[in-house]
Each structure stands twice: as structure tokens, then as C-alpha cells.
């Protein structure tokens, strides 16, 4: 990699790391250390192919999704840590709802979580989600449907008046 390519890569990492870290955090079910590892792995794989990567952010995201699914396949029975209970509310609206969402997402399979994050958090069309995950559009639709039902079962607090991946309905 020449100096100009290295500078471009460093600029990309500097500019996009916060957004990519948030995505990694969601994909790992709220595990900060695992999210950092996931992002680092994705960036390491990206730098080795930097010259041939046309859309760097899309490439990093795809590496993260696939890496996380692979990790989950190898560690299906791993325990999910529960966040500590808080003695008093901190006064911030939505904090408890986000914690409930994080715990519920952590209980889904990696594929279910990836479909929901890509489809609703990233707001990608079904065809693009299918392309990233290497499955059919029908699989994305059925997985999203079953995953949302499972989220509602795991966390009844996410039912009306709240949408699962949105603001309170008015």
C-alpha cells in the first residue's frame, strides 16, 4: 500500500469508526469488547484488500455481518451477560426501553439479529439485506417476521405504543 492509499484508509477509519462501532455493538448484542474485536477484525480484513474495495463502508459492514454470524455458529451456547440493575432511574427517556431492546436482541440468533439490524436499524431494502447475507429475499422476509415476533415474546414492553425499531406511535 502506498502512502496515498494508507492516508485514504486512515481517513476512512477516522471518519466512519463511530458509526461502524455502533453497528458492531448492536450485532454483538451489546458486548463492548466483542464489538471492538469485531470492528478491528473487519478493518484488518479491509486494509488487506483496500485497493480492490470499491465501496469501503459497505465492504466493512458485510465483513462484520459475516464474521458475527460465523462467530455465533461456533459459539451457539455462550452465555449472554445481563447488564447490572440500576437502583434509580437516571431521568433519561428511553434508556430503559433501549436496555430491554439490547437484552432481547442478545437472545436472538446471529442471523435473526443481523436481519433485524440490517432491515430496520440500517433501513436497507430486503434485496440488499439478502445480498449481504447471501440468502433469498423470501428468507429475509420470513426471518424478519419470525424475529420480530420473537422480540415481542421476549420483551412485551416493546409492544404498543412502541414500535420495535422506532419512536413511540402518536
- Torsion angle, alpha carbons of 133, 166, 22, 83, to 10: -110
> Average pLDDT, whole number, for the chain?
81
Average pLDDT over residues 26-38: 87
The confidence score (pLDDT) of residue 167 equals 47
For residues 132-145, b (16+ Cβ closer than 10 Å) or e, as one string?
bbeeeeebbeebbe
Nearest-angstrom CA–CA distance, 28 and 32: 8
Residue 144 has pLDDT above 90, yes or no: yes
Cell of 63: 465483513
Which part of the chain is CATH 1.10.10.10? 91-170
pTM, full prediction: 0.52
Instruction: Look up cell 496515498; give the residue.
Output: 4
**Contact between residue 129 and residue 158 where contact means Cβ atoms under 8 Å apart:** no
Residue range 91-170 in CATH 1.10.1510.10 = no
Nearest-angstrom CA–CA distance, 41 and 20: 12
Nearest-angstrom CA–CA distance, 154 and 84: 18
Nearest-angstrom CA–CA distance, 123 and 103: 21
The confidence score (pLDDT) of residue 163 equals 47
Amino acid at each position: 500500500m502506498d502512502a496515498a492509499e494508507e492516508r485514504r484508509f486512515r481517513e476512512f477509519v477516522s471518519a466512519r469508526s463511530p458509526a461502524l462501532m455502533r453497528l458492531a455493538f448492536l450485532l454483538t448484542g451489546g458486548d463492548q469488547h466483542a464489538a471492538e474485536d469485531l470492528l478491528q477484525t473487519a478493518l484488518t480484513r479491509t486494509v488487506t484488500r483496500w485497493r480492490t474495495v470499491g465501496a469501503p463502508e459497505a465492504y466493512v459492514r458485510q465483513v462484520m455481518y459475516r464474521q458475527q454470524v460465523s462467530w455465533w455458529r461456533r459459539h451457539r451456547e455462550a452465555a449472554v451477560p445481563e447488564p447490572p440493575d440500576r437502583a434509580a432511574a437516571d431521568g433519561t427517556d428511553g434508556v430503559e426501553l433501549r436496555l430491554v431492546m439490547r437484552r432481547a436482541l442478545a437472545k436472538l440468533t446471529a442471523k435473526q439479529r443481523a436481519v433485524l439490524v440490517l432491515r430496520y436499524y440500517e433501513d436497507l431494502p430486503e434485496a440488499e439485506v439478502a445480498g449481504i447475507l447471501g440468502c433469498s429475499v423470501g428468507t429475509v422476509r420470513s426471518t424478519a417476521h419470525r424475529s420480530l415476533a420473537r422480540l415481542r415474546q421476549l420483551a412485551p414492553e416493546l409492544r404498543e405504543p412502541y414500535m420495535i425499531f422506532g419512536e413511540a406511535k402518536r
